Amino acid sequence: MNATLRLTEELIARPSVTPLDEGCQALISTRLAALGFACETLESGPADFRVTNLWARLGTGQQPTLVFAGHTDVVPTGPLSAWTSDPFVPSHRDGKLYGRGASDMKASLAAMVVACEEFVATHPKPAIDIAFLLTSDEEGPANDGTVIVCNELQRRGERLDWCIVGEPTSVERTGDMIKNGRRGTLSGKLTVKGIQGHIAYPHLAKNPIHLAAPALAELAATLWDGGNAYFPPTSWQVSNIHGGTGASNVIPGTVVIDFNFRFSTESTPEDLQQRVTDILRRHGLQTGADFELVWTLGGRPFLTAPGTLVEAVRSAIRHETGIETQLSTTGGTSDGRFIAQVCPQVIELGPPNATIHKVDEHVAVADLEPLKNIYRRVLHELSQQAGAGR
């Protein structure tokens, strides 16, 4: 059994359902400390939702720094009876390793650690610093995880140049797709106020659903932006509508609409908020009197254009797998949105994502070594470039 597979199994065996870490970071810290990393645990959050974060650095902070980032927490398993085998007992079937977190993202974490071990063994004095930023709050609210560490690193003035997040980005084979950016996410909770009444006497009531409907139609039909070479157009989608008492003869007093923007770098949160408010007012709804709107910014979009990191990753994938990788910004959010605020170049690279969050989550064993080799080659290429630039 190779080192990457062995460590992946050790991590899967720890039931680190968010926000629990269950010793995953301690296990990784032990491996990193043996290489000379200075490891620091930063805990955050309330007592009933305590989050464990790890910041580890090899080097003095005076050289260009590559950060490996990821999360040790996993999503809940769902009904255990639906799993073919215990989700926290690593199991092999047909060349696949099964277990919760196998592909999201304990395989990536193991590959990163082993890649560093192999790289440092042959490059005891690399021309770059290497760091790890891990959290147990990526699958949860993400309030006390990576964002807390990034804020602390910014306060200290620590240097970050490149970051690889180990999210499962591939489709068919490891390396066939990387994320060089992600869309932003902006959620709104719109409450439209009416007057409750008997449905047979509509003149004595005011139906908030009727008031909201014309504005919702315009919001759904609006072209928010046209996207760009890296991002699709911004989308607006309703996720929930709640109105009514449950009775068929009562006009409701309020209706609550939850919606979300997934937005590109062509739009800003401030512009989207203003445009939504303008549409509501255009349809006769006045702030305060007729509606209330609460906004939650989940993350701004980020983009890493082709440059030093993207080209190093492309080259590593090509050399290790023969694949010409595809750049993509599709999918949901990741902790890359926080890291991009303190690090100029962020990409995401991990194994295929077909089974993430599913029952019987798994990763092909054949994908593990190529992933580790890609990470190791990126270390080599960046160190070589940094050394040549001295």
Active site residue 138: yes
| Given the residues 138, 139, 335, 381, the one annotated as active site | 138
> Could you tell me how far CA 349 lies from the centroid of its own chain?
12
How far apart CA 131 and CA 346 sit, in angstroms, is 14
Preceding amide of 177 cis, omega within 30: no
Active site residue 270: no
What are the tokens at 300? 């701004």
Please, what's the largest Cα pairwise distance for the chain?
Answer: 82
How far apart CA 331 and CA 196 sit, in angstroms, is 41
Q: DSSP character for 261?
A: E
Answer for the pair 166, 312: CB distance below 8 angstroms, yes or no: no
What are the tokens at 176? 């066939």
How far apart CA 46 and CA 205 sit, in angstroms, is 45
Runs of H (alpha helix) within 64-207: 107-122, 146-156
CA atoms within 13 A on the CB side of 114: 20
Q: Which of 72, 88, 93, 70 is nearest to 365 (CA)?
A: 93
Burial environment of residue 152 by CB neighbours within 10 A (0 to 12, 13 to 18, 19 or more): middle
Amino acid sitting at position 320: E
Amino acid sitting at position 27: L
Q: Cα dihedral sign for 30, 97, 317, 299?
A: negative
Q: DSSP character for 232?
A: P
- Helices 368-388, 3-12: axis angle to 10 degrees equals 110
What are the tokens at 290? 């007729």
How far apart CA 206 and CA 243 sit, in angstroms, is 13
What are the tokens at 108? 């990536």
The DSSP secondary structure of 168-213, one letter per residue, reads: --BSSSTTSEEESEE-EEEEEEEEEE-B-EETT-GGGSB-HHHHHH
| Secondary structure (3-state) at 104 | helix
| Given the residues 9, 73, 129, 381, the one annotated as active site | 73
Point out the residues that are catalytic: 73, 138
